[in-house]
Amino acid sequence: MTFFGSIADDFTGATDLAALLSRSGVAVSLRIGVPQSPPEATAGLEIIALKIRTAPVDEAVAQAREALAWLRAAGAQRFFWKYCSTFDSTPQGNIGPVAEALMADLGTAQTIYCPAFPENGRSVFMGHLFVGEALLSDSPMKDHPLTPMRDANLLRLLQPQVRGKVGLAPRSVVAQGAKALAARLAGLDAAHVVVDAVNGQDLAVIAEACQDMALMTGGSAVAMALPRLWQARGLVGQARTAVAKAAEGPALVLSGSCSAMTNLQVADYLGRGHPGYRLDPLALMDGPGAALDWLAAQSGAPLIYATAEPEAVKSAQSALGTARAGALVEEALAAVATFARDRGTRRFVVAGGETSGAVASALGIDRLDIGPEIAPGVPWCFATSGGHPIAITLKSGNFGGPAFFTQSLELLDR
Ligand code: ADP
């Protein structure tokens, strides 16, 4: 039976939340999109990953409400609206409207907003969001192509997005503990309360004070302490099952991320003597056949990658156009994944956010059960693909350390 239902505004944000919730040992299941069938065999903690961060407001609200209805049908009694720890939203903004719609459906008068993720350098003080030591508006997020963040004041960002009043619960109150925070929230004449947090202790206080709110909103970190609080009260219990054994079989590493960290990870993996095949976007105009032929002749845990240094990426992009180069790579990696699965591969390590989406959808995955965490925010997941149990990890660009690929595979063998 589900107790906690979360709605995430993008896919890697959902896996990040899944990994943090899963640290409690409670079963976590992640759905890609709102399931088409009614809830069945659900986990104690259910997450629905949507792709609505930059969608038109009406569409984002409609999808979030549909997800909420499914989670309520699954039995959930507490809800979480998960967005990015850098509060990514367009000027029209989906964070506030979605929160307000969920509040209306749940019949609740107040919610909190806490994007803080101190472990990753995101903190909130006096309602201002910091990335490391810089205000959000002075961080690289100010130049984000889709959601440039030019203001760090969360109250000012939120107020135009909502009809209700916006208020602040400052650090000075949070530092006094859960009772003081609960009293402040009860005394504030505000439907939408931004709550300060600069460290893990603050997040624990917020979770304790807000554990019985129908709806909380924030980054993944503020939700992390919730499962254990509920476990202590007997509200969630179902433990994560060890399903790793079911996904016995050969492994394959697929990398379509060109981030600095992924470049290191590819180099590290090849340096350990694993077979590798580099995809050249220009050559992919003839299709992925050559890569499939190569893969068919391999044993061990091969790597197929388009990962390249910025210069090579630029030259492919100027020859093909950015979108076409990306699409050729994503289509090829997706084709490789299904080919490998049909030939018996059961363990997949995938690097790249967009790449992960392409591979997961090619493999026909709509539900992931969350397993052990490999690196902060990156868990092994278990799923069914083409009727076979598989293990898959989906890593966005900069996550994990240089030896991530090796560590992933070693963790499954343990
Ligand atoms: P990240 O999580 O690092 O952002 P993504 O998978 O989200 O990784 O994005 C990387 C994008 O770059 C994908 O669309 C991928 O297809 C594309 N890409 C990968 N390799 C190359 C390359 N060599 N040249 C051009 N584009 C590439």
Using one digit for the tens of pLDDT, what is the confidence trace for 2-28? 999 999 998 888 999 999 999 999 999
- Give the model's pLDDT for residue 247: 81
Comparing C-alpha atoms, which of 401, 366, 374 is closest to residue 30? 366
Atom 15 of ligand 1, nearest CA residue: 326
Q: Which of 195, 89, 60 is nearest to 148 (CA)?
A: 89
List Cβ neighbours of 146 (8 Å cut-off, separation of 6 or more): 53, 54, 88, 90
- Domains of the chain, residue spans: 4-232, 251-413
Q: In angstroms, what is the span from residue 169 Cα to ligand 1's centroid?
A: 40
Q: What is the whole-number distance in angstroms between the Cα of residue 162 and the centre of ligand 1? A: 35
Q: Whose CA is nearest to atom 10 of ligand 1?
A: 257
Q: In this structure, which residue's CA is closest to atom 18 in ligand 1?
A: 326
4-232 against 251-413: fold identical: no
Enumerate residues 6+ apart whose C-beta is below 8 A from 55.
63, 94
Question: How many Å lie between the centroid of ligand 1 and the Cα of residue 265?
Answer: 15
Find tokens 């609080």 and name the residue: 229
Q: Are 106 and 127 in contact (CB under 8 A)?
A: no
- Residues 38 and 170: their CA atoms lie apart, in Å, by 41
Kindly report the protein residue whose alpha carbon is nearest to atom 26 of ligand 1.
326
| Closest by CA position to 220, among listed 1, 369, 10, 402 | 10
Which residues fall within 8 angstroms of residue 192, CB to CB, at 6 or more apart? Answer: 96, 99, 100, 110, 111, 113, 158, 162, 164, 165, 166, 167
- Minimal-distance CA residue to ligand 1 atom 19: 256
CATH placement of domain 251-413: 3.40.980.20
* Residue nearest atom 16 in ligand 1 by C-alpha distance: 326
d(CA 322, ligand 1 centre) in Å: 9
Give residue-wise pLDDT tens across range 198-214: 999 999 999 999 999 99
- Ligand 1: distance of its center to the CA of 333 in Å? 11
- Return the percentage of the chain with pLDDT > 70, whole number: 98
pTM of the complete model:
0.88
Whole-number pLDDT of residue 178: 98
- Identify the residue with better confidence: 115 or 147: 115
Instruction: Give residue 258 CA to ligand 1 midpoint distance, Å.
Output: 5
Q: How far is the CA of 81 from the centre of ligand 1 (A)?
A: 28
Q: How confident is the model at residue 244 (pLDDT cuts 50, 70, 90)?
A: low
Contacts of residue 196, Cβ cutoff 8 Å, sequence gap at least 6: 116, 124, 125, 126, 127, 168, 169, 170, 171, 174, 202
Mean pLDDT of 49-68: 94
Mutate which of 280, 336, 354 for ligand 1? The one with the most ligand atoms within 8 Å of its CB, which is 354
pLDDT tens digit sequence for 349-397: 999 988 998 999 999 999 999 999 999 889 999 999 999 999 999 988 8
Does residue 345 contact residue 389 with C-beta atoms inside 8 Å?
no
312 CA closest ligand 1 atom index? 23
Closest CA to 341 of 276, 247, 244: 247
> Could you give the C-alpha distances from 257 to 236, 268, 326, 399, in angstroms and in order?
37, 15, 10, 11
Distance 145 CA to ligand 1 centre (A): 15
Q: Is the pLDDT of residue 238 over 80?
A: no
- Smallest CA separation from ligand 1 atom 25, residue: 313
Query: What pLDDT, on the 0 to 100 scale, is given for residue 7?
Result: 98
Using CA atoms, how far apart are residues 5 and 70, in angstroms rounded to an integer?
9
Q: For the chain, give the longest Cα–Cα distance.
A: 68
Q: How far is the CA of 400 from the centre of ligand 1 (A)?
A: 17
Pick from 82, 72, 143, 69: nearest CA to 111 = 82
The residues lining ligand 1, judged by C-beta closer than 6 Å to any ligand atom, are 256-259, 262, 281, 306, 308, 312-313, 316-317, 325-326, 329-330, 352-355, 396-397
CATH level 3 topology of 4-232 = Rossmann fold (3.40.50)
